[in-house]
Structure 1
Amino acid sequence: MDWLLRDLAATVPTIRHIVVLSADGLCMARHSTERDTAERIAAAASGIKSLAQSIAAELPAEDPDAAGDEVRMVILELAGGFFYLMSAGERSYLAVTASSEVDPGLVSHRMRDLVLRIGEHLSSAPRAPEQAAP
């Protein structure tokens, strides 16, 4: 997956961080960032996803087969740049940060392309509850 994340960064040079995370906020892959930073981004992205699910629950899905609280994409424009969070497979997400000079539509488009190419490989299995020792 490293070369795919590297390709995303290469096609949009103003990207600062790329993190693939599980729905519960664990960093599964990263590019252009240190491990500690990637873990902080993954944890924050999981919180943002949870907040977005609360809003999504108030907006009925147009597709009757879609989950009412499904989060497909979140974009935040901040003083220091942009934050993107996109559903990337079952229980996994792609988070990207970019400088304020970025073309916001280009990042969204490239992220969607990446998710379509590797979405099935980005799914994370649900965590099983710990078994009590006999």
Structure 2
Amino acid sequence: MRSADQQLAWLLENLLERTPQARHAVVLSRDGLRLAHTAALSVDRADQLAAIASGIQSLSYGASIEFGDGTGGLRQSMTEFHGGLLFIVEAGEGAHLAVVAGDDADPGVIGHNMNELVEQIGEYLTAPPRTPQTSSRL
């Protein structure tokens, strides 16, 4: 694991420690690739959470375009399910931060702590669009 990845994982762990009821956190690219995650998530579960969060963000973006002001602006997505809550915020250019919390969690505290983290380290939570590599044949 690269040093920047380790630092980001440490910051995610710190987010969980200071956010009551928070269980897991993952940073993902817009297209659903896991960039960093907390230790309680296996790599497979972190990949699954990243894919789910990416899909929710994509649907929310579409709803914003159709039913919002047309700019596609998206502040936060929250999904409430039996046994928990999923929060997703934009976290820099092409990146998102997702947090899973218990169903007794305070949405205001979670949203505040997530946004505070993004403001502090937003430049590290950036996933610029991937470009296809061109192959040169000799």
> What is the alpha-carbon root mean square deviation over aligned residues?
1.2
Q: What is aligned with 1:119?
A: 122
Pick one of 15, 24, 27 that aligns with 2:22: 15
Q: What is aligned with 1:74?
A: 77
Consecutive unaligned residues in structure 2, runs of 5 or more:
1-7
Consecutive unaligned residues in structure 1, runs of 5 or more:
62-67
Pick one of 34, 42, 45 that aligns with 2:42: 34
SS at match of 1:89: coil
Measure the CA separation in 2 of the matches of 1:95 and 1:75. 10
Post-superposition, which runs of at least 4 consecutive aligned residues in structure 1 deviate over 6 A?
A: none
Q: What is aligned with 1:46?
A: 54
Measure the CA separation in 1 of the matches of 2:111 and 2:24. 14
Q: TM-score, normalised by structure 1?
A: 0.90
Cα distance, 1:77 vs structure 2: 1.2
Q: What is aligned with 1:60?
A: 69
Q: Count residues in correspondence.
A: 128
Measure the CA separation in 2 of the matches of 1:105 and 1:79. 19
Higher helix residue share: 2
Cα distance, 1:60 vs structure 2: 1.0
Cα distance, 1:5 vs structure 2: 0.9
Q: TM-score, normalised by structure 2?
A: 0.88
